Structure 1
Amino acid sequence: MKSILIVDDEINICTLLSRFLSKHGFKTDSTMSGSQALKMLKEQPYDLVLCDYRLKDTDGARLLNDIRQLNPKTVVIIITGYSDVRIAVEMVKNGAYDYISKPLYPDEILSLVNKALAQQPAALPENNHNVVAPHAHEEHSAGISRPRKNGGSYVFGESEPSQELYRELTLVAPTDFSVIIFGETGTGKESVAHLIHEHSSRKGQPFVAMDCGSLSRELAASELFGHEKGAFTGAIGTKIGAFEQATGGTLFLDEIANLSYDIQVALLRVIQEKQIRRVGSMKEIAVDVRLIVASNENLFESVQKGKFREDLFHRFNEFTIHIPPLRERNEDLPLFVEAFIEQVSKELNKPAATLSDEVWECFRNYDWPGNIRELKNVIRRASLLTPTGKEIGMAALPLEMKAGSSTPRYAASPAEGTREEMPEGVMLDSNDLKSVALKAEYNKIINVLKEVKYNKTKAAQLLNIDRKTLYNKLRLLNINY
Structure 2
Amino acid sequence: MPQILLVEDDLTYSRIVKTFLEKNSFDVMTTTKVKEAQNILNTGKFDLIIADFRLPDGTGMELLQWAKAHFPRLQVILITHYSDIRIAIKAMKLGAFEYITKPINPDELLATVKESLSQKAVEKTVESPKEAVTSKVQKPSAASTYVTGESQEAEKLEKHIHLVAPTDLSVLVLGETGTGKELISKRIHEFSQRKNGPFVAIDCGALPKDLAGSELFGHVKGAFTGALDNKTGHFESANGGTIFLDEIGNLSYDVQIQLLRAIQERKIRKIGGNKEIDIDVRIIAATNENLTSQSGDAVFREDLYHRLNEFTLYAIPLRQRKADLEFFVNGFLSESNERLNKSIKGLSPEVWDIFYNYDWPGNLRELRNIIKRAVLLSSGDKIEKEALPLELYDTAFLSERPLPTAAPTFQAITSTPSAASAPGQDYKSQWKEQEKELIQKVLQDTRFNKSKTARILNMDRKTLYSKLEKYGLE
Q: Which TM-score tier does this pair reach, normalised by the shorter chain?
A: 0.5 to 0.7
Q: Which runs of 5+ in 2 are unaligned?
A: 1-94, 99-141, 397-407, 413-432, 447-474
Q: In the TM superposition, what are the counterparts of 1:74-113 in structure 2 within 5 Å?
A: none
Distance 2:335 2:279 in 1: 38
1:199 equivalent in alignment to 2:186: no
- Kindly provide the CA deviation profile for residues 368-390 of structure 1, in whole angstroms up to 9, marking residues without a partner as x: 00001100111000000001x43
SS at match of 1:156: coil
Aligned to 1:367: 359
Amino acid aligned to 2:390:
L
Name the larger-Rg structure: 1
Name which structure has the greater RCO, CA cutoff 8 Å, separation 6+.
2
SS at match of 2:168: coil
Distance 2:148 2:206 in 1: 31
What is the deviation of 1:405? Answer: 3.6
Instruction: Indicate conservation of the 8 Å contact 1:141/1:373, yes or no.
Output: no
SS at match of 2:240: coil
Aligned to 1:393: 384
Instruction: Indicate conservation of the 8 Å contact 1:353/1:383, yes or no.
Output: no
Aligned to 1:308: 300
Aligned to 2:254: 262
Instruction: Indicate conservation of the 8 Å contact 2:186/2:199, yes or no.
Output: yes
Match of 1:227 among 199, 219, 226: 219
What is the deviation of 1:154? Answer: 2.8
Distance 2:374 2:347 in 1: 10
Distance 2:237 2:181 in 1: 21
Distance 1:322 1:235 in 2: 39
Match of 1:291 among 283, 293, 301: 283
Distance 2:273 2:443 in 1: 41
What is the deviation of 1:447? Answer: 4.3
What is the deviation of 1:350? Answer: 2.1
Instruction: Indicate conservation of the 8 Å contact 1:194/1:207, yes or no.
Output: yes
Segment of structure 1 superposing worse, 345-354 or 363-372: 345-354
Instruction: Indicate conservation of the 8 Å contact 1:228/1:235, yes or no.
Output: yes
Distance 2:277 2:174 in 1: 31
- Kindly provide the CA deviation profile for residues 99-134 of structure 1, in whole angstroms up to 9, marking residues without a partner as x: xxxxxxxxxxxxxxxxxxxxxxxxxxxxxxxxxxxx
Instruction: Indicate conservation of the 8 Å contact 2:214/2:271, yes or no.
Output: yes
Aligned to 2:320: 328
What is the deviation of 1:353? Answer: 3.0
Over 3 Å counting, the alpha-carbon distance change for 1:347 and 1:227 in structure 2 is: same
Instruction: Indicate conservation of the 8 Å contact 1:366/1:405, yes or no.
Output: no
What is the deviation of 1:357? Answer: 0.7
Q: CA RMSD in A?
A: 3.3
- Kindly provide the CA deviation profile for residues 243-280 of structure 1, in whole angstroms up to 9, marking residues without a partner as x: 10000000100111111111111111111111111111
Over 3 Å counting, the alpha-carbon distance change for 1:296 and 1:450 in structure 2 is: farther
1:251 equivalent in alignment to 2:243: yes
- Kindly provide the CA deviation profile for residues 391-448 of structure 1, in whole angstroms up to 9, marking residues without a partner as x: 21111001101x3249xxxxxxxxxxxxxxxx96599xxxxxxxxxxx9xxx79x949
Amino acid aligned to 2:384:
G
SS at match of 1:267: helix
Q: In the TM superposition, what are the counterparts of 1:403-422 in structure 2 within 5 Å?
A: 403-405=393-395
Distance 2:381 2:373 in 1: 14
What is the deviation of 1:354? Answer: 1.7
1:190 equivalent in alignment to 2:182: yes
Over 3 Å counting, the alpha-carbon distance change for 1:447 and 1:279 in structure 2 is: farther
Distance 1:450 1:284 in 2: 50
Identical aligned residues as a percent? 53
Instruction: Indicate conservation of the 8 Å contact 1:326/1:371, yes or no.
Output: yes
Instruction: Indicate conservation of the 8 Å contact 1:264/1:312, yes or no.
Output: yes
Aligned to 1:209: 201
What is the deviation of 1:140? Answer: 8.5
Distance 1:203 1:151 in 2: 14
Q: With structure 1 as the length reference, what TM-score do the two structures score? A: 0.54
- Kindly provide the CA deviation profile for residues 42-88 of structure 1, in whole angstroms up to 9, marking residues without a partner as x: xxxxxxxxxxxxxxxxxxxxxxxxxxxxxxxxxxxxxxxxxxxxxxx
Q: In the TM superposition, what are the counterparts of 1:160-171 in structure 2 within 5 Å?
A: 160-171=152-163
Amino acid aligned to 2:394:
G
Match of 1:341 among 316, 326, 333: 333
Amino acid aligned to 1:203:
K
Instruction: Indicate conservation of the 8 Å contact 1:359/1:393, yes or no.
Output: yes
Larger helix proportion of the pair? 2
Distance 1:271 1:383 in 2: 45
What is the deviation of 1:347? Answer: 1.2
Distance 1:449 1:211 in 2: 31
What is the deviation of 1:200? Answer: 0.3
1:351 equivalent in alignment to 2:343: yes
Q: Which runs of 5+ in 1 are unaligned?
A: 1-138, 143-149, 407-422, 428-438, 453-481
Instruction: Indicate conservation of the 8 Å contact 1:197/1:250, yes or no.
Output: yes
SS at match of 1:252: strand
Over 3 Å counting, the alpha-carbon distance change for 1:269 and 1:424 in structure 2 is: farther
Instruction: Indicate conservation of the 8 Å contact 1:187/1:373, yes or no.
Output: yes
What is the deviation of 1:152? Answer: 5.8
Amino acid aligned to 2:307:
R
1:178 equivalent in alignment to 2:170: yes
Over 3 Å counting, the alpha-carbon distance change for 1:451 and 1:393 in structure 2 is: same
What is the deviation of 1:346? Answer: 1.2
- Pairs aligned (count): 279
- Kindly provide the CA deviation profile for residues 441-480 of structure 1, in whole angstroms up to 9, marking residues without a partner as x: xx79x9499949xxxxxxxxxxxxxxxxxxxxxxxxxxxx
Instruction: Indicate conservation of the 8 Å contact 1:206/1:248, yes or no.
Output: yes
SS at match of 1:157: coil
What is the deviation of 1:206? Answer: 0.8
Distance 1:449 1:285 in 2: 52
SS at match of 2:221: coil
Amino acid aligned to 1:353:
K
Q: In the TM superposition, what are the counterparts of 1:418-437 in structure 2 within 5 Å?
A: none
Distance 1:176 1:141 in 2: 34
Amino acid aligned to 1:259:
L
SS at match of 1:181: strand
Amino acid aligned to 2:266:
K
What is the deviation of 1:297? Answer: 1.0
Instruction: Indicate conservation of the 8 Å contact 1:181/1:293, yes or no.
Output: yes
- Kindly provide the CA deviation profile for residues 196-245 of structure 1, in whole angstroms up to 9, marking residues without a partner as x: 00110001101111111122331111001001111111111111001100
Instruction: Indicate conservation of the 8 Å contact 1:179/1:316, yes or no.
Output: yes
